[in-house]
Amino acid sequence: MPPLRDAVRDLDGGEQAQLHDVLRIVVGSNSELEESFVDTANEALRQVADHDLAVTTTEVIQTFFRQTTPPNREHVIELNQRKLELRRIARLLRIQLAERQVPIGDIAATGLGYANLLFIAMVVLQLVRAKESDLTLLLVEEPEAHLHPQLQLILLDFLHEQARSSGQVSDPTKPSGKVQVVVTTHSPVLASTVSVRNVVVVARDSDSADWCTKATAIRAVGLLDVQRRKIDRYLNSTRAALLFARDIVLVEGIAEMLVLPSLAPHRLKELAEEIVSRGEGTDVEAITKKLLRQFRSATLINIEGVDFEPYLQVLLDGEHPRVDRVVVVTDRDHTGAGDERKSHYEKRFAPHVDAGRLAVVVGGTTLEAEMFRMAQNEELLHAAFLSLHPNSDHHWKKVVAAVEGKGLDDRAETFASAIRAKSAKDEYYLDIAKGEFAHVVAEALESNNGPSLSVPSYLETAIDAVAHVAAEQG
């Protein structure tokens, strides 16, 4: 398909090639229909040429033109007296466009999005010619241009239906007329609409000495059907950024997804200060901004569970990895399952661990408990808890009293058990809805300019990996 950036020009320009092609398709082999249309157009043009204004204009031009030539070389002019064929008639026509019940107008005044849709529809219409071939490829580059998400979905359904309904020829001796549609896109909306078995990711090969791109068909990376269905169900227009990002953080819950971006500035400022103190830099603010820019270029994906492996397969398996770095953030859990996951992933994807492309970090219990582990975070968390439960301070104080003088592990475990408790009848009980609490904590972190904050060590590791701190220090 021609570039969509030329849609308005091609639809409203002088050549009218798309319109002519459609006219030719509609006419088909009906010579009488074509002859009637051409005769009607030429008769209308003759009437225009015979109008008093046209005749007078011709005579005026002839009078002045006659004075430029010798009498024995006099030339005579006329307006549109020759017979026009279908292509020339098409050039005289213009498609106009407007929303229903709105006065019709030029295509350019309607908006680029609808002009693109009209252009695509006319090109697809011409694919009836595919009946003359066994396979026709329709290559569409970034059809999402100038379309809001709902129109993108309708367009993709349209293209999918055209491909699906093609090739249904009952006579095996005739061409199948199959149409295959290949769409290139940067739109997560489109990428999340089709199954990953129909997705090919094209990405820069960061392992190559020379700059190049490589293509990987997701259906070829070895996903089991149950894993593929899980990915398909999971991906929506937000999560489909998984297929486009170069740096990705996979987390198991909403709390990490909300709080990590708020923790990062604290951690990276601290790192910048360390770098300057070692004499490896002079400007804390500039280094912090650089590290933050790298961190914020990453995409955080909440998989809402602990089965990270299918997502790692989509990102890493195959001959050519599609990402620069993947960081998995998971909890150890009271069963120790997090350590087992880390060991399994590091073994399963060992080449990517060795290349620095994959990092798996494990927290001691859960995010909230790991933040409570450090006593200096207690005030911030207490304020967040009270903002949600102003009448439950006695529950908080009971937990704090229980960990008085205890070690860091005891602090975290006691807080984690209080979060897991089902009711106030349990020994320790904190009614914390992870999403709401994380929002409040993130808000407090973003407004906290004091030195009292301590980032849990496993999240320090995660933030450092996402921000490519090793490269900055190297």
3 state DSSP class of 25:
helix
- Domain ranges for the chain, please list them: 236-474
Evaluate whether 457 touches 412 at the Cβ level (below 8 Å).
no
- pLDDT reading at 313 higher than 90: yes
Task: Say if CB 292 and CB 286 are below 8 A apart.
Answer: no
Retrieve residue 312's tokens: 């790692």
Burial 439-474 (b: 16+ CB within 10 A, else e): bbbbebbeebeeeebbbbebbbbbbbbbbbbeebee
Q: In the chain, how many H helices and how many E strands?
A: 21, 10
d(CA 193, CA 191): 6
Query: What's CA 423's distance to the chain center, in Å?
Result: 42
Alpha carbon distance 411, 196 (integer Å): 44
* Residue 163: per-residue pLDDT: 85
User: Taking all residues of the chain, what is their mean pLDDT, rounded to a whole number?
Assistant: 85
Q: Which residues pair with 151 in a beta bridge?
A: none
pLDDT tens per residue, range 422-457: 888 888 999 887 788 888 888 888 875 544 678 899
Tokens of residue 213, six digits: 């791109």
Each residue's pLDDT tens digit, 187-214:
888 888 888 999 999 988 766 667 788 8
At residue 451, the pLDDT reads 47
Adjacency order of strands within the sheet including 358-363 = 299-302, 247-251, 325-331, 358-363
List the structure tokens of 438: 């994380």
- Write out pLDDT tens, residues 220-249: 999 999 898 888 888 876 778 888 888 999
Instruction: Give residue-wise pLDDT tens across range 341-397.
Output: 999 999 999 999 999 999 999 998 888 888 999 888 898 899 889 988 999 999 999
Burial of 43 by CB count in 10 Å (0-12 exposed, 13-18 middle, 19+ buried)? exposed
Give the residue carrying structure tokens 């239906």. Answer: 161
403-425: per-residue pLDDT in tens?
Answer: 998 999 899 999 989 988 888 88
Q: Which residues are CB-contacts of 322 (< 8 A; sequence separation ≥ 6)?
A: 201, 203, 216, 243, 315, 316
Fill in the amino acid letter for 18: Q
